[in-house]
Amino acid sequence: MKVTWSLRSLDRARDIADFIAADSPDAARTWLNNLFAKVRSQLRSPRSGRIVPEFGRSDLRELIYGNYRVIYRLGSTEVIVLTIRHSRRRMDPEELGH
């Protein structure tokens, strides 16, 4: 299944990496590389992700990467990564394009 990253999700990944890079550019590169690797690996079986509890919809799933929730939507032929949220922040429905 094809994995597509929304502009919002890429912006979030960049913002998080920029925050990490303020202390350690190497750690930021590692974080980003590992994020993309985990998503690629885990989304080979996209239904293995947990249903996003705030919405309870079977097409909205998440995987956990460190302190972050990677929220994605299942399609018939692709998975769209919608956003990345720190696990302590409340989910904003606007981030999912609803």
Please write the tens of the pLDDT for every residue from 36-60.
999 999 888 989 999 999 888 999 9
Parallel, antiparallel or unpaired: strands 60-65 and 50-51: antiparallel
What is the spatial distance between Cα 55 and Cα 83, in angstroms, rounded to a whole number? Answer: 15
Residue 61 has a pLDDT of 96
Asked if residue 20 has pLDDT above 90, the reply is yes
Arithmetic mean of pLDDT over the chain: 92
Q: Which residue segments constitute the domains of the chain, with CATH numbers given?
A: 2-89 (3.30.2310.20)
Asked if residue 98 has pLDDT above 60, the reply is no
Q: What percent of the chain clears pLDDT 70, i.e. is strictly above it?
A: 98
